Amino acid sequence: MSVALLAVAVVLSLAVGAGSVPPSTIWDVLRGAHPAGPAALVVTEVRVPRTLIAILAGCALGVAGVIAQGVTRNPIAEPGLLGLNSGASLAVVLAIAAFGLDSVNAYVWFGFAGAAVAALIVAGVAGLGRRATVTPATLALAGAALAAGAGSVTTVLLLTDPTSFDDYRFWQVGSVAGRDLSVATQVAPFVAIGLVVAMTCGTRLNALVLGDEVARSFGRRVGVDRAVCGVALVILSGSATAAAGPIAFVGLAVPHLVRRLAGTDHRGVLPLAALAGPTLLLLADVIGRVIAPPGEVQAGIVSAVIGVPLFVVLIRRQRFMR
């Protein structure tokens, strides 16, 4: 069913917009049997890139959300809680303000690097102290502190450089529009690597959510397990944020939706999240195209508006990760 829903979302993403394109025409364009024209141009140059980026970003965010909640044992955790989105945002603003970069292709790498540096800082700060032990609580606190600090610096830069704000605003709200295939090709290898690492984390997360002491009693090396999961989290959230901006709700809600279908075993939750994430992001993007014609609303805004009430209902009905 998840695969079928994703396929429907992909078709809608390619067909629906300011100008609708029939599925038969889309198929002809994709296989090269449709003559060049407006429909072919819209499909190949606009909708195929944004669909691919939505699939990559949604897949990465969905899986990253599962890992974030498992590692921190926090049901409302997502990449932003650990400061990754703020680190990526600060890096993008610095790239725009300091180097005058004005395209996603130019600053996508800064977003990825910013998320990676933020993760290293959070892990380092969380491990400070007499015991030098990284715990879910210290990770969350360090992430919140980094997010606040990076957010403040980002705001100062934006206020002192209005041009940077104009270039940054579209990226900051979270969107899969305005990108071309080169962004997808740059991000895809990192998402693929992150997914490979993430799919080895099922058993690790099953142990981590029970608590460090219980996990050690089962013979797990908690530090190694948390480090492997952290690597997957950084790669996935950094890639998604660099390509589509800080879209927060997908990584927050997808784990809750998936657990209602797959239970709490992360070996089943992770693959299902890789399908549910892009489905949710694609549908949010499609809704954003049709609710405010002739313009459109960015996917990050739509996902928050339609998702927050759903998330509130889910979090009130579920009890897990006690």
Residue 322's pLDDT band (cuts 50, 70, 90): very low
Q: Encoding tokens for residue 243?
A: 């390509």
Residue 304 within a domain: yes
110 falls within a domain? no
Residue 113 located in a structural domain: no
For residue 20, being part of any structural domain is answered with yes
Q: What is the pLDDT of residues 11-55, one digit of tens each?
A: 999 988 877 888 888 888 888 776 677 778 888 888 999 999 999
Q: What is the CATH number of the domain that holds 278?
A: 1.10.3470.10
Q: How many domains does the chain have?
A: 1
Residue 134 belongs to some domain of the structure = no
Task: Show the domain range for 190.
Answer: 2-80+174-317
Q: Which residue has tokens 């400061």?
A: 83
Residue 122 forms part of a structural domain: no
Kindly state whether residue 191 falls inside one of the protein's structural domains: yes
Percent of the chain with pLDDT over 70: 88
Q: Taking the complete model, does pTM exceed 0.85, yes or no?
A: yes
Positive/negative CA dihedral, 79, 227, 321, 195? positive
> Tens of pLDDT along 82-127?
788 888 888 888 887 788 776 666 777 887 788 889 888 887 887 6
Does 252 map to a domain? Answer: yes
d(CA 277, CA 280): 5
